[in-house]
Amino acid sequence: MFSLLAILAVSLLSASAIQVTSPGGTKGWTNDGSQSIAWQSVSTDPSNFTIVLTNPNRALMPNDNQILKALVSTNAGSTTVDPPAMGWPAVGGSYRVNLCKSSEDLNSILAQSMEFNITAAAVKSGASSATAATTATSPTDSGTASGDAPAPSKSNAAFQIGAPTGFVGALVLLCGMLA
Ligand SMILES: *[C@@H]1O[C@H](CO)[C@@H](O)[C@H](O)[C@H]1NC(C)=O
Ligand SMILES: *[C@@H]1O[C@H](CO)[C@@H](O)[C@H](O)[C@H]1NC(C)=O
């Protein structure tokens, strides 16, 4: 059953020019908040598709797949997807996103990402580090010296701002290729 689907997927992939550029490989997702997807396409591709999260590992993802967003405009080149109602599935590897023809036809896969990991978000507190990174640091009433600026190279902070940075980077890359 699975190999049949795989063959079907591969044959459909070769008929489409859409390519998922992110997530995949080292460009993974976290389990905290919206995550970004970027792709490349040509004018002959369908005008829209449905984004589905999959994982063959049932221990990580008990359901076959999870529709994340329908009727995504192909021309957009990238989008963000909100977590499913039940939240992101378990942290781990072998996740993929499929770009499917429609939410009624999930077997028609236009493009499939490389495998990627969903990792635990570094910060789970209400104070989003993404917000903290883009706004001026608010004064705290703690006893620490005010000149003690947060280290920008902290791995947690770098990972948190990595998604939007990669998103912009993908757009820049895409624009560069189209120019
Ligand atoms: C994905 O996670 C596994 C451990 O679960 C790790 O070995 C692997 O290097 C990770 N892959 C990437 C691309 O980060
Ligand atoms: C979505 O794409 C299909 C073709 O795959 C097309 O028939 C349909 O009109 C499109 N819908 C919208 C809302 O763009």
DSSP string, 13-74: HTT---EEEESBEEEEEESSS-EEEEEE--TTS-SEEEEEEE-S-TTT-SSSEEEEEEEEEG
Same domain, residue pair 114 and 162:
no
Same domain, residue pair 72 and 150:
no
**Degrees, nearest 5: CA angle 14-38-20:** 20
- Give the number of domains in the chain: 2
> How many Cα atoms within 13 Å fall on the side-chain side of residue 167?
15
Mutate to test the pocket of ligand 2, among 48, 49, 99 (most ligand atoms within 8 A of CB): 48
Domain of residue 18, residue span: 8-119
Question: Atom 12, ligand 1: which residue's CA is nearest?
Answer: 26
Q: Is residue 102 part of a domain?
A: yes
d(CA 139, CA 6): 54
The 10s digit of each residue's pLDDT in 169-178 is 444 444 455 5
Kindly give the distance from the C-alpha atom of residue 117 to the centroid of ligand 1, in angstroms, as a whole number.
6
Same domain, residue pair 96 and 135:
no
Res 13: pLDDT:
54
Ligand closest to Cα of 60 equals 1
Sign of the dihedral through C-alpha 72, 73, 75, 80: negative
Same domain, residue pair 88 and 167:
no
pLDDT per position in the chain (179 positions), as tens?
A: 556 556 555 555 555 689 999 999 999 999 999 999 999 999 999 999 999 999 999 999 998 889 999 999 999 999 999 999 999 999 999 999 999 999 999 999 999 999 999 999 886 555 554 444 444 444 445 444 444 545 444 444 444 444 444 444 444 444 455 55
The CATH number linked to 48 is 2.60.40.2840
pTM of the model: 0.66
Q: Is residue 26 part of a domain?
A: yes
Q: Is residue 3 part of a domain?
A: no
Q: Is residue 22 part of a domain?
A: yes
Same domain, residue pair 115 and 135:
no
Kindly give the distance from the C-alpha atom of residue 70 to the centroid of ligand 2, in angstroms, as a whole number.
11
The 10s digit of each residue's pLDDT in 131-146 is 444 444 444 454 444 4
